[in-house]
Amino acid sequence: MRRALKMVVDPVSCAGEGLCAELFPERITLDPWGYPIVSDEPLTPQLMEHARRAVDMCPHLAIHVMDAPVRVPTPTRRGGDGPGPEPTRAEARIVAQLRGGGPRR
């Protein structure tokens, strides 16, 4: 199964103030009570700056970027789901930074 960077919210820590949706509307919307609904789509390198800003600005440290498995349906000769494509170099570099605590921009 392919892995990719995804956003996750800790519902226990989140206070539902909605700042993250203002900072990262590409992937976060709010429910009627102001709590974030995070898209399950993988983060692309182009979105990482906005994602990191939302993570850094959350006053309750409730939102995170994680390297997580994603199910990417890809056709195979037998018609089932394959493992999906390899991560791009940019995605691999971001994952390495997250795992090793490398420099953050």
Minimum CB distance to ligand SF4, residue 73 (Å): 29
Q: Which alpha helices (DSSP H) does the chain contain, by range?
A: 19-23, 48-57, 89-100
Minimum CB distance to ligand SF4, residue 54 (Å): 7
15 touches ligand SF4 (CB under 6 A)? yes
3-state helix, strand, coil in the chain (%, to 5): 30, 25, 50
Size of the site for ligand SF4 (CB under 6 A): 14
82 touches ligand SF4 (CB under 6 A)? no
CB 38 within 8 A of CB 57: no
Query: In the complex, which residues of this chain contact ligand SF4 (CB under 6 A)?
Result: 9, 14-20, 36, 58-60, 62-63
